[in-house]
Structures are given as structure tokens and as C-alpha cells.
């Protein structure tokens, strides 16, 4: 069973999307569309520190979000290596 928990925090100057669990399968595939609906404009940063694994669909979802000008923040080694492997720049998590 694949589990992906998505929390959307509406902050004063940005929207922060916190992902936890497995970025895989149908959940990963639907993520870019879901975020486009709930976060249509402005600064959106995606916190990847809680991601435990990602399949090819998850990687494609991250690339689609990056092409939509979403910012990625993380400090975990797994998330940083995942983004580095995809050529996605990341920022340090600013909580």
C-alpha cells in the first residue's frame, strides 16, 4: 500500500506543501494537478524532508512541479540526493 500525506500550509508570504511518505504510483501522478488547483499562483515551496521513497512516477511529478516554478526545500539526505539526481535545485528548509 502506497501512502503519501500532503499538508498545505498557507503562510503570509508563501504556500508551503509538506510531503511525507512514498512519492509513488497514482498519488504521485495526481500531485501536480492537485497542487495546481489548491496553489494556483504565488510562491509555493515543497518540503520533501518526509519523503521515504520515489518511483519513476514520483520523479516525473517532481520534474513537472519544478517546471511549474515550484521551489523545493529539504535537508534530508534522501530528498537532496533525489533532487540532485533529477537536476532540481533545492534550498535549505526554513521552518
> Does 44 reside within a domain?
yes
* Structural domains counted in the chain: 1
Return the CATH number at 40. Answer: 3.30.750.24
In a domain, 34, yes or no: yes
What is the pLDDT confidence band of residue 55, given thresholds at 50, 70 and 90?
A: very high
Range of the domain at 44: 4-86
Give the residue-averaged pLDDT of 15-19. 95
The 8 Å CB, 24+ separation contacts for 54-58 are: 54/22, 54/23, 54/24, 54/28, 54/82, 55/23, 55/24, 55/25, 55/28, 57/24, 57/25, 57/26, 57/28, 57/29, 58/22, 58/23, 58/24, 58/28
For the entire predicted model, the pTM comes to 0.90
pLDDT for res 66: 94
Residue 94 lies in a domain: no
Amino acid at each position: 500500500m502506497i501512502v503519501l500525506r500532503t499538508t498545505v500550509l498557507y503562510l503570509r508570504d508563501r504556500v508551503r506543501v509538506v510531503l511525507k511518505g512514498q512519492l509513488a504510483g497514482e498519488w504521485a501522478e495526481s500531485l501536480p494537478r492537485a497542487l495546481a488547483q489548491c496553489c494556483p499562483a504565488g510562491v509555493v515551496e515543497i518540503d520533501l524532508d518526509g519523503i521515504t521513497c520515489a518511483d519513476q512516477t514520483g520523479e516525473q511529478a517532481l520534474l513537472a512541479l519544478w517546471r511549474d516554478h515550484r521551489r523545493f526545500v529539504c535537508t534530508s539526505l534522501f530528498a537532496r540526493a533525489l533532487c540532485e539526481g533529477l537536476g532540481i535545485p533545492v534550498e535549505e528548509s526554513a521552518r
